[in-house]
Amino acid sequence: MKIAYIDPYPVPAYRVASLQIVQMIDAMARRGCSVEMVSPQSSVSADTILGRAIDARVSFTGLKNIRKTWFFPFNSQKVFNYQVSAWLKKNPVDAVFTRNLKMAYYLLNKHPGIPCFFESHEVFSQSFRESHDLSGIKNQRKLAKLLKTESIVYRDASAVFVKTALIKVDAQALYKTDTPVYITSNGVDLLAAGAVTGTVNSKQKDAKTNLLYLGSLHPWKGLPTIIHALPALENVTLNVAGGKPEQIAELKALAETLEVADRICFMGYVEPVNRFQVIADADICVLPLTDSSMGGRYTSPLKLFEYMAMKKPVVISDLPSIRSITGDDMVNFAKSGDAASFAGTIRRIIDEPANAARKTDCAFSFILDKFNWDKCADETLNLISNSLSAK
């Protein structure tokens, strides 16, 4: 089977979506699928993401990227779309796969003869409602256009793959689609995680407990909750890996106000190949997600699975999206947005190491059994194959 995975942004690259795509296409190829990665030209190589060579059954096609150049100062993907059409006419594939809503809409309209599979990480119209002021006509029109685009993709795609059960529930309730919608969760690159397993440091008695937050610093990620929890935690430090300079500056100001700045290390951007070592060096990992559509219903957090793969105790917001993935036997729940709840949960992990170890062992077995890219690729390819066979 030959699949063209198409994305209007360069792949490989360091944005989160690109990191996920590279891991997924590598896993697909290792399952025997021929994958053509079609995107704008990239200056990044796959080995800088994976820490190893990507499977030989993955080929990269880099199309011209004129977006936001001096002679085309627009953020439009129309030129890329035309190039994709030209490429598809010359390169037959069994199916196209994309996680970009506009790309899926274009492919379904311009290439209806090629089975199109769409991977959704949120219900875009719902996320737009939450993040924009809809009192003005401009945003009302944008929402109407988004609703139309999303409804057509859910109607006409050969199948839709979603990352949580609640995305499926919301999308089917909103769009009343008969299109098959399958839940295929994110996962862990077990090869990359395994490469650093032997370097995990044992915590010394009476040493400070090192918390880790690894990831972007979008508001829905909820990191201020952990900073607010620090004053109630003695002998505890926090490493924050990721984020943009302006986001870090805001959080540093909050830390100064709470007089905990000397206990927080803002590490800035961490190269993808180094992320498992950063996790290995932590004692407890935190995911203080907010109770929003993205945090509470749609996220299937990669970092959760990567923390589990490194056998780290995880403190995470008690939200429907997370409960649909895991439970009390594997992670330690705290109330979303409640600093006291997070502080109390962290203290219990420190005071009850044996219980924490039981949970991390259970979580590790869970990752090996289900939440890894190989399992995700197997499920996805089997469903695509069945869909193609039924046509």
pLDDT category at 199 given cuts 50, 70, 90 is: very low
Give per-residue pLDDT as tens, 85-137.
999 999 999 999 999 999 999 999 999 999 999 999 988 898 889 889 999 99
Q: Do domains 2-187+373-390 and 190-369 have the same CATH topology?
A: yes
Of 35, 15, 147, which is closest to residue 98 (Cα–Cα)? 35
pLDDT of residue 197: 59
CB 248 within 8 A of CB 268: yes
Strand ranges (E), the chain: 2-6, 34-40, 58-63, 95-98, 116-120, 159-162, 181-183, 209-214, 236-241, 264-268, 284-287, 314-317, 332-334
pLDDT of residue 200: 47
Domain topology for 2-187+373-390:
Rossmann fold (3.40.50)
At residue 70, the 3 state secondary structure works out as: coil
Q: What is the mean pLDDT of residues 45-53?
A: 94
pLDDT of residue 207: 81
Q: Which stretch of 7-11, 244-248, 252-256, 387-391 has the lowest confidence by average pLDDT?
A: 387-391
Q: What is the mean pLDDT of residues 345-371?
A: 96
Is the Cα dihedral 214, 337, 161, 373 positive or negative? Answer: positive
Q: Where are the alpha helices (DSSP H) in 157-291?
A: 165-175, 190-194, 223-229, 245-257, 275-280
Instruction: In whole angstroms, give the CA distance from residue 69 to residue 389.
Output: 43
Residue 70 has pLDDT above 60, yes or no: no
> Higher confidence at residue 169 or residue 293?
169
Q: Is 190-369 assigned to CATH 3.40.50.300?
A: no
pLDDT of residue 76: 76
CB 75 within 8 A of CB 95: no
**CA atoms in the 13 A half-sphere facing the CB of 198:** 2
* Residues sharing a CB contact under 8 Å with residue 153, sequence separation 6 or more, in sequence order: 101, 104, 105, 108, 118, 160
Considering the chain, what is the average pLDDT of its residues?
92
Q: Which stretch of 28-32, 206-210, 349-353, 367-371 has the lowest confidence by average pLDDT?
A: 206-210
User: With b meaning 16 or more CB within 10 Å and e meaning fewer, what string describes 361-383?
Assistant: eebbebbeeebbbbbbbebbbeb
Pairing of the two strands 181-183 and 209-214: unpaired
pLDDT of residue 292: 75
pLDDT of residue 317: 96
Q: What is the mean pLDDT of residues 65-74?
A: 65
Task: For the chain, state the CA radius of gyration.
Answer: 22
Domain spans of the chain, in order of start:
2-187+373-390, 190-369
Residue 62 has pLDDT above 90, yes or no: yes
pLDDT of residue 84: 98
At residue 251, the 3 state secondary structure works out as: helix
Give the pTM. 0.86
pLDDT of residue 131: 84
Residue 321 has pLDDT above 90, yes or no: no
CB 287 within 8 A of CB 309: no
